[in-house]
Structure 1
Amino acid sequence: MDVLLPDPHRLSREPASADRPQDPEARRLPPRWLPWWLLLAVGWLAQAGVRVGLAAGQTMPVANPDETGYLFAARLLSGGPPADISNSTPYRGGYSLLILPAVWLGGEDPVTVYRLALVINALLGATLLLLAYQLLRRLGLSPGWAYAVAHVTALLPAAVFYTQYALTDAVLPVVLLGWLLLLHSWLVGDVSPARMALYGAGASLAAAYAYTMHSRGVVIVAVHAGLLLLAVVRRWRPWWSAGLGALAAALVAGAGSLLNGWIWPQLYPRGSYDMGSMLVDRLTTPEGYGWTIPVGIGQIWYLIVGSWGLAGIGLLAMAAVAFGRGVPSRLRALALGVLATVAGIAFATAAALPDEQRVGNHAYGRYLACLAPLLFAVGVAVLLRASRRTALRAAAAVAVVTAAAAALIELRAGGSFGEYVFFPFDFPETGFLTWDWDSLRLWTATLAGLGLLALTVAMAVAGRRSGAVLLVGVLLVVNAAASVATAARVSRPFVREMTAASDLSGLLDPAAKPRVAIDGNVDWKIWVMQLYQVSWSQVLWFDSRYERPPTRADLVLMVWDGKVPAERTWADPPAGWRVAGSRRTAEGHWVAWRRS
């Protein structure tokens, strides 16, 4: 794996190995006629356009309560009313700040606000192309190859799928890759003290911003702080430079904590899910480890399979840098930081997850998706630069580890998958690999992912320029096809189903700003979307089992068993009230009463 250790001060322009052609033109792309900055700008626009196009069918937040949690916080920050989503996971305000312009521009039209938020996702998510290009140049690829592989990386489903939702996962890959590139520049680069301080402060700001966005950021900040401390102890960097970075991180993380302290009481007035106590319990008891370790390994299995095995090559390369001989200490520390981040996120999120009796509890890709583009790009770089022997040995090792992880998942929970709840949203890549959008076919997905890895390795070891071009072309087609398929088979059906279950567009006139009351017995997946559609005031709550609907409301939404006539859901309604609409859906039934 020594090909991943280019001189940190001078970048190699071309791959080289003992058993690869040494012709300097053998692995170059055709000549270019445009400056690289313009090619990168055009590429960024193209990547943003792809994301906007795939998200065109998204009209309402459906990955809830996550999406609505961030949207409610953005609405609150814009001066809008609070919303009660107590007892759910507390969502941090960092991402809500990013989508705040969508609330300002969209006003009280919830569909416009949501679509603008996805445009913001697309613009920021497309920045992954620029960062991946920088990463691949540092890994020794020439500009042409780096540009091509950066496009492939930016189209990875883990980098595209979540931009179709108002989720931190849409931008976390950009934040984390930016953090690592800046950290590499600070730790390894031979630069002036002023630029060194700038890189260190930038890396600290990125790490702290990740903390303000999601609880995964706690792991990022911890790893970052450890590397800052190590750099001072080993005298790699002066204390003042590390101290400046630590101060920047502390200021941003502190501001984020203050922001969350203001948001959370207004969105979770009756409390939220306590991840901290669950985390402590799982990490201090044998039963807790019995849950945490298999679930964390299940996340790593998904990371590998969902990247067609190439993130596994990237992980193996990081391990080789971290534990191999003759590696510069600073690069070794950075690789250890990446491995610690992967392990920390996988096992910390596994420990904090409640057992929801869902398949995604045991094999889940979303939490590590923020690192998938980084590891995928490293994996492709290994195949383009490594010797045949290294590539084959790495692929064999990844296959063994992936199969072992799949066996552990099968042993731990495979027999219960038929009894657990399956959400297609949890399995976009494996759904594409098996073309089964209704269940997890564990071994089929494993074999399909490893099969794609074998195909890419076979093309890489061909030893000719055409093999490398074919490798990049096949990955480009596969990633694009997977991103299109997941949008068509997961995102759009999800929106159609949930919009049909909760849509209030024909019952509300936002211009009139009616007061809305909701029966707390309506299914939460329905009422949380209805809360989002009422953007001008707080919703009134009542329990139809014990109390009458509040008559000061203008529209009342009541639970319905779908059997009795809709007119009988409100016994003895006041004069002037009538049924305005009703819904029978797979998610639940409800009736809307409106004051005439």
Structure 2
Amino acid sequence: MTRLAPLSPADPESDRTAGDSPADGRTPAGWWHARWVMPLALALGYVLNVLFRLALVREQDYPTVSPDEPMYLVMARILAGRSTTEIPNDQVIPAGYSLLISPALRITEDPVYAYHLVMGINALISCLVLPLAYWALRRLNVSRAVSYIAACAAVLLPPVVFYSQFGMADTPLPALVLAWLIGVHGMLSEGSRRRRIWFALLGAFAAGYCLLTHDRGGVIIALTGLVLLVTLVLGWAPRIAAALGLGLLAAMFAAKQAMTAWMMSHVDGAKPSEVGNVVFETLENTRLMRRTIMRTIGHIWYFMTSTWGLGALALVVCVCAVLSPRFTRANRVVAFLMVALLGGIALAAAAGLPNDHRIDTIVYARYLSLLVPAYVLVAVAVLFHIRGWKKIVALGAASAGVTLALTAVLLHMAGKQLPKSHFILWGLPDSTFLSSLWSDDWRSFHGARTTAVALIVFLVLLALRLLGGSRRAGLATGAVGVVLAVFAGWATVAITDQVTVPNMKSRYGDATGFIEKSGLRRGDRLVMDRAFRWETRVTMGYEVIDGRTWTRSLIKGETVPAEANVAVLNRFDDTSPAAATWPGVPAGWHIDRDVPEDHYVIWRRG
């Protein structure tokens, strides 16, 4: 099998590698290799992708994914120096992403304008995948043209764009993972001592910030620490590079702990996230072993189909790289990290997710989405370097076999549970898009159809590469990249229209709609009855930026916070008077307005 990269990476001075020579032997135009061309192309591509993302979310005015978005937005509000308020579920989760979007809440107290700014920050962060993807492919000795085309495809992939359309920590993770893998690869590749130190610091920082951003970062920081320790002991890189990397990794871990402690001190009744405890408790419970295995397979299956088979191709090659001495040490270690991270996150997610009887809990898209660009880029690099139609067909067959095997095992293990579970479109965007190409159905889950369409796309891409043969491998891989970019863009727009926009419209009443109907004013301090609609309660923690919120069992007589001046209670019986919604109402409160169409009553103090 052909190596993915030579022993030495691309020369940083000349930015040339053997991959820059076209496969048919023609000399490329001189202007293409001018120093200004690629920075200009990357800058233009970055700007266009930012504008594309902003166009997709131009009508989004408020958070729609509960409780995830409100949790990150409330923490961003506190980090921005705004007044404290309650946090959904009273759990403090990693605040690294909230720190990135906190400038939006420093600028304004208008929740709609602030959310628009958050979407803008998301677009700027998410599009960093473009230059990082280009850098990654150049390190794998892929030509500049193919690297640029493939990078443009990677930044348009639905799992990369979809989660950036919400105020969620999944936005920066794909870029952070690419930076992490580039850093480890650079540290272990040939180069000057100073250069390898900088790569080690890049990898350690990216791994550490993953931990600051989401609990998934725990798997990444553990793998990074392992690689740095082995490197330090065996001398795979200058030991000063490994030592400094370990030091920075420890500092990032300490920063995460300090940030969590600070956040807990600023939120009344807050407690640390219990995700890690749940994962270990589930893994130790032998009665839940079958469920955990089923979910792990389901998550990996979703990953393979959401990457249209290219993820399976990359997985096959990464496993071969780990086992074969024909690959460079840098490639073998990075391949190990990619395989280990895929399995580690899938297993942790399978164990940590609740038993909520949802299909997307069995085949979850979100937690592995951070690896989508990396796997797709490795697949493109393989197609660029591999020679001989027999090898291409063999790799294609192995990749299709992996995907089909996962499908068969999943449908066997979950065949009885899937029909009884709830279909939540937001949790299954990629698989539903693929199955809709078969049946035009966006309202149900079809595992077999999803696999069939994903493999059809994979075979089309493979056929394009086969048409180039060995002499025009670069041209054929470029064509694969173009088709991939077009298909990714189309899929992203379709998922936005069918998933993001309807989800946003359905949540209007929980955000802007409630603010308008309830008559909330600047500085109001809202207490909500615990029986009131859950989605509205968690959203209000962000929406009431210039005041604050509480949740209390008001109808059971729980004490009203002294600072509260507005209360909302359900109207369970439309035939009863509005005054009956709050038995034992404290003195000084009166009905401000009745909203019978939404079954609640607003009370005010004074």
Match of 1:440 among 445, 451, 466: 445
CA deviation string 1:75-101 (max 9, x = no partner): 111222333236465421111110011
Match of 2:591 among 571, 578, 583: 578
- In structure 2, the partner of 1:420 is 421
Q: 1:456 to 1:268 in 2, by over 3 A?
A: farther
1:340 and 1:218 map into 2 onto residues whose CA distance is 13
Q: 1:29 to 1:359 in 2, by over 3 A?
A: farther
Contact (CA 8 Å) 2:296, 2:346: kept in 1 or not?
A: yes
1:200 and 1:340 map into 2 onto residues whose CA distance is 19
- In structure 1, the partner of 2:68 is 66
Contact (CA 8 Å) 1:555, 1:595: kept in 2 or not?
A: yes
The alpha carbon displacement at 1:139 in A equals 2.0
Q: 1:216 to 1:540 in 2, by over 3 A?
A: closer
Amino acid at match of 1:327: F
CA deviation string 1:422-477 (max 9, x = no partner): 22111111121122332211111111111111111111111265754542232122
- In structure 2, the partner of 1:385 is 385
Contact (CA 8 Å) 1:282, 1:291: kept in 2 or not?
A: no
**Unaligned stretches of 5+ in structure 1?**
none
Match of 1:454 among 450, 455, 459: 459
**Helix, strand or coil: the match of 2:62?**
coil
1:317 and 1:552 map into 2 onto residues whose CA distance is 61
1:229 and 1:172 map into 2 onto residues whose CA distance is 24
- In structure 2, the partner of 1:474 is 483
CA deviation string 1:568-589 (max 9, x = no partner): 434587788335253757xxx5
Match of 1:561 among 564, 572, 597: 572
1:382 and 1:88 map into 2 onto residues whose CA distance is 46
1:284 and 1:457 map into 2 onto residues whose CA distance is 42
- In structure 1, the partner of 2:38 is 36
Amino acid at match of 1:488: D
Residue 24 (structure 2) pairs with residue 14 (structure 1): no
The alpha carbon displacement at 1:269 in A equals 1.4
Residues 319-328 or 307-316, more deviating? 319-328
The alpha carbon displacement at 1:359 in A equals 0.7
**Helix, strand or coil: the match of 2:457?**
helix
**Helix, strand or coil: the match of 1:516?**
strand
Match of 2:82 among 80, 97, 102: 80
1:562 and 1:401 map into 2 onto residues whose CA distance is 56
- In structure 2, the partner of 1:287 is 287
Contact (CA 8 Å) 1:65, 1:88: kept in 2 or not?
A: no
1:187 and 1:412 map into 2 onto residues whose CA distance is 41
Q: 1:123 to 1:560 in 2, by over 3 A?
A: same
- In structure 1, the partner of 2:147 is 146
1:28 and 1:66 map into 2 onto residues whose CA distance is 50
What is the root-mean-square deviation in Å for CA atoms of aligned residues? 2.7
1:69-218 → structure 2 map (5 Å cutoff): 69-85=71-87, 87=89, 90-105=92-107, 107-191=108-192, 193-218=193-218
Residue 344 (structure 2) pairs with residue 336 (structure 1): no
The alpha carbon displacement at 1:164 in A equals 0.5
Residues 496-505 or 253-262, more deviating? 496-505
Residues 331-340 or 253-262, more deviating? 331-340
- TM value normalised by structure 1: 0.92
Amino acid at match of 1:533: E
1:527 and 1:583 map into 2 onto residues whose CA distance is 18
Residues 136-145 or 357-366, more deviating? 136-145
- TM value normalised by structure 2: 0.90
The alpha carbon displacement at 1:350 in A equals 1.6
The alpha carbon displacement at 1:257 in A equals 0.9
1:561 and 1:391 map into 2 onto residues whose CA distance is 65
1:22 and 1:86 map into 2 onto residues whose CA distance is 56
Residue 405 (structure 2) pairs with residue 404 (structure 1): yes
- In structure 1, the partner of 2:13 is none
Amino acid at match of 1:328: T
Q: 1:366 to 1:548 in 2, by over 3 A?
A: closer
Contact (CA 8 Å) 1:501, 1:526: kept in 2 or not?
A: yes
Contact (CA 8 Å) 1:14, 1:24: kept in 2 or not?
A: no
Q: 1:203 to 1:95 in 2, by over 3 A?
A: same
Aligned pairs, number: 587
Q: 1:443 to 1:520 in 2, by over 3 A?
A: same
Contact (CA 8 Å) 1:508, 1:514: kept in 2 or not?
A: no
**Helix, strand or coil: the match of 1:517?**
strand
Taking every aligned residue pair, what percent have the same amino acid on both sides?
29
Contact (CA 8 Å) 2:589, 2:603: kept in 1 or not?
A: no
1:300 and 1:318 map into 2 onto residues whose CA distance is 15
Contact (CA 8 Å) 1:4, 1:317: kept in 2 or not?
A: no
CA deviation string 1:468-526 (max 9, x = no partner): 45422321221001111111111111111112244333246776412212111113222
The alpha carbon displacement at 1:297 in A equals 1.6
2:79 and 2:563 map into 1 onto residues whose CA distance is 27
The alpha carbon displacement at 1:415 in A equals 2.2
2:273 and 2:244 map into 1 onto residues whose CA distance is 35
**Unaligned stretches of 5+ in structure 2?**
11-15
The alpha carbon displacement at 1:325 in A equals 3.8
2:207 and 2:304 map into 1 onto residues whose CA distance is 24
Contact (CA 8 Å) 2:555, 2:582: kept in 1 or not?
A: no
1:404 and 1:566 map into 2 onto residues whose CA distance is 61
